[in-house]
Structure 1
Amino acid sequence: MNSLDSTVVIVPGLRDHDPDHWQSHLARDLPSAAIVPPLTADKLDRAARVAALDAVLAGIDGPSILVAHSAGVLTAVHWAAANPASSVIGALLVTPADIESPLPTGYPLHSELDAGGWLPIPRTTLPFTSIVVASQSDPLASMRRVAGMAENWGAHLLDAGDVGHLNPAAGYGPWPPALGYLAMLRADIAATEALVR
């Protein structure tokens, strides 16, 4: 599978699609990208989010690369745990939310997330090449916790610095490094493919 011929699939977090979110800007920069649609009913239904991702992937002919943010990362890893053999060849997992720890005011309660099927966070190695991008100042997850997630998932951990939760509230908006991280992921995928030939 050639990573350059792959379809990028945008997997948003629980707040779905903000037109000024960096994922929305990335989708506009990549016209062939596919976007997981927002839920119209219970936004905390993890199974529904996983099913929505699965439906998008089922409609793609060829390899895919996931670009997920926040709880979208958790959607992706829950999906991967149930689909170890698939056409997904890589994932860029940006500032995953640590939903096993209390979240700030305005975010779902632990009990709500548990009822929605989000807990626990999957800790199995992902069946594809992945990069986790972490923030030094994310109010939704400490660097230590995100590093642990990356280790569990077998992902390459990258430190993006002081970028908050990488959402519009933190000033992002356009996030030009996204394309650079995506290029790094494609290079990692190509290197992995070369090893198994």
Structure 2
Amino acid sequence: MTRFLLVPGRGVPFPNHWSRQWARAHRDHTWAPEPPGPPYVAGDRVAALNAAIAADTAAAVLIAHSAGCLTVALWAARHSGPVVGALLVTPPERDDMPRERLPFPSIAVLSRNDPHASFAYGEQLARQWGAEIHDAGPVGHLDSRSGFGPWPEGEKLVARLAAP
């Protein structure tokens, strides 16, 4: 059975955020870590993600939003485990973002008008990671403030990563 680990960004997602809705709607979607509040401490987040991945031998799909993409990239550079794919949603522009090829299939969801990263930056990062690029259009940071709530298109992307 595949498990789905939600990797939050630097803050706590609002209750209507798509990731919160997915966690409520799907028992196999769990937080890694539970959504903490600021500040974002990369080492703590990577350790929590590693603990969540190592807690079970079942295949895992990582679902990361914003700074959660940094957590996933840092984890992949330092650790290994039964990860079969990652959905990397609106990675922010950061100088400390690892750029090594990820050791599992991934899809980078990019926005044409993300206030935290240009589309060109996201494209370059996705290519370095070896990720498929999904152009979500002008969706802001793909969060509650930009109208996401429900995000059925994202659920379809996750299903593709989980397929054998």
Same fold (TM over 0.5): yes
Q: Go from structure 1 to structure 2 and tell me whether the alpha carbon gap of 1:16 and 1:60 turns closer, same or farther (over 3 Å shift).
A: farther
Structure 1 vs Structure 2 CA RMSD: 1.4
Deviation beyond 6 Å, 4+ runs, structure 1 = none
Which residue pairs with 2:67 in the alignment? 71
Which residue pairs with 1:103 in the alignment? none
Q: Is the 8 A contact 1:34 1:56 kept in 2?
A: no
Residue type at the aligned position of 1:142: S
| Distance in 1, Cα, partners of 2:22 & 2:35 | 17
Task: Give the TM-score normalised by the residue count of structure 2.
Answer: 0.93
**Higher mean displacement: 148-157 or 19-28:** 19-28
User: Which entry has the higher C-alpha Rg, 1 or 2?
Assistant: 1
Q: Does 2:134 align with 1:145?
A: no
Which residue pairs with 1:107 in the alignment? none
Which residue pairs with 1:38 in the alignment? 35
Q: Is the 8 A contact 1:26 1:178 kept in 2?
A: no
Unaligned runs of 5+ in 1: 101-118, 191-197
Q: Deviations over 1:83-108 (max 9, x none)?
A: 1x3111110101111123xxxxxxxx
Q: Does 2:17 align with 1:11?
A: no
Q: Is the 8 A contact 1:71 1:97 kept in 2?
A: yes
Q: Deviations over 1:65-88 (max 9, x none)?
A: 0000000011110011001x3111
Q: Is the 8 A contact 1:6 1:65 kept in 2?
A: yes
Q: Is the 8 A contact 1:39 1:49 kept in 2?
A: no
Within the candidate set 119, 125, 129, 2:101 is matched to: 125
Residue type at the aligned position of 2:21: H
Q: Does 2:86 align with 1:91?
A: yes
Query: 1:164 Cα deviation (Å)?
Result: 0.5
| Distance in 2, Cα, partners of 1:17 & 1:140 | 16
Aligned length in residues: 163
Q: Does 2:49 align with 1:53?
A: yes
Local SS of the residue matching 1:164: coil
Query: 1:141 Cα deviation (Å)?
Result: 0.6
Residue type at the aligned position of 1:53: L
| Distance in 2, Cα, partners of 1:177 & 1:97 | 21
Local SS of the residue matching 2:137: coil
Residue type at the aligned position of 1:175: W
Which residue pairs with 1:193 in the alignment? none
Unaligned runs of 5+ in 2: none
Q: Within 5 A, what are the aligned runs for 1:136-175?
A: 136-175=112-151
| Distance in 2, Cα, partners of 1:141 & 1:149 | 11
Which residue pairs with 2:17 in the alignment? 21
| Distance in 2, Cα, partners of 1:177 & 1:38 | 23
Query: 1:59 Cα deviation (Å)?
Result: 1.6
**Higher mean displacement: 176-185 or 154-163:** 176-185
Q: Is the 8 A contact 2:64 2:86 kept in 1?
A: yes
